[in-house]
């Protein structure tokens, strides 16, 4: 099994690239996030690989970092998610965005990915909620979906003002950490709005 390639990126296409390793060109399927990272760099590139072997094909999926590869593997465990849909999700949402969307129960963020409808988004949220906290994200955000309390109220208020739940949730959690759990909901919403306005 191929786990990593180290070589020069010869060609970039919409959903794949060719990595030249000592004169051998490997066709690698990848998310737009990974393809963007590969196109921005020069010289030899390190591409982490997930190899899928079937009767009729051997397909290589490439990732610029380990977090994205781990999320790809986890997404494939969800019924209805194949490699193409998993790459579409990773193109639409970074690993950090995925964690925030799952924590906030943000179905709308997931449905931005081609191939993810409302039913699949609900399945992703329910099946990954307990697993997302252990996934790599690049942040130290704790996964605790807002079911009730000031964080749930503040996230709902911000969502009604047009902010995505995945965008509002980490901001509300930072504000609550700063102000304390006993902070008035109005103050949490005001400070969250101020922080979101700066972004």
Domains annotated for the chain, with CATH where assigned, are: 4-63 (2.40.50.140), 66-134 (1.10.150.20), 150-198 (1.10.8)
Task: List Cβ neighbours of 138 (8 Å cut-off, separation of 6 or more).
Answer: 67, 95, 96
Using CA atoms of 86, 88, 94, 97 in order, give the dihedral in degrees to the nearest 10.
-90
Q: Give the distance, in angstroms, between the CA of residue 102 and the centroid of all CA atoms in the same chain.
A: 10
Q: What angle do CA 179, 182, 184 make, to 5 degrees?
A: 80
Instruction: Name which residue leads in pLDDT, 199 or 195.
Output: 195
Residue 95 token pair: 């690993």
The greatest distance separating any two alpha carbons of the chain, rounded to the nearest whole angstrom, comes to 64
- Determine the pLDDT at residue 20: 94
Whole-angstrom distance, CA of residue 112 vs CA of residue 98:
12
Whole-angstrom distance, CA of residue 21 vs CA of residue 71:
26
Residue 137 token pair: 């994200």
Residue where the block lists tokens 């590969």: 38
- Cβ atoms of 4 and 22 within 8 Å: the answer is no
Average pLDDT over residues 49-54: 94
pLDDT at 71 over 90: yes
The string of pLDDT tens digits covering residues 161-189 is 888 777 788 888 888 888 887 788 888 88
Which among 46, 44, 55 has a CA at the least distance from the CA of 2?
46
Whole-angstrom distance, CA of residue 149 vs CA of residue 156:
11
Q: What is the pTM of this model?
A: 0.72
Whole-angstrom distance, CA of residue 88 vs CA of residue 107:
15
The string of pLDDT tens digits covering residues 6-43 is 999 999 998 999 999 999 999 999 999 999 988 877 78
- DSSP structural state of residue 135: S
Whole-angstrom distance, CA of residue 134 vs CA of residue 97:
15
């Amino acid at each position: 099994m191929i786990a990593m390639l180290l070589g020069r990126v010869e060609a970039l296409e919409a959903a794949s690239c060719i990595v030249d390793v000592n004169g051998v060109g490997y066709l690698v399927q990848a998310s737009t996030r990974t393809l963007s990272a590969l196109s921005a760099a020069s010289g030899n590139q390190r591409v982490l690989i997930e190899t899928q072997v079937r009767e009729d094909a051997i397909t290589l999926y490439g990732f610029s970092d380990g977090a994205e590869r781990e999320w790809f593997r986890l997404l494939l465990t969800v019924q209805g998610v194949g490699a193409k849909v998993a790459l579409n999700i990773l193109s639409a949402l970074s690993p950090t965005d995925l964690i925030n969307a799952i924590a906030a129960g943000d179905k709308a963020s997931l449905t931005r990915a081609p191939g993810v409808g409302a039913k699949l988004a609900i399945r992703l949220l329910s099946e990954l909620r307990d697993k997302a906290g252990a996934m790599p994200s690049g942040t130290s955000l704790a996964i605790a979906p807002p079911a009730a309390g000031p964080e749930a109220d503040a996230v709902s208020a911000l969502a009604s003002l047009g902010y995505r739940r995945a965008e509002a949730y980490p901001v509300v959690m930072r504000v609550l950490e700063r102000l304390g759990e006993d902070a008035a909901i109005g103050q949490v919403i005001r400070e969250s709005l101020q922080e979101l306005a700066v972004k």
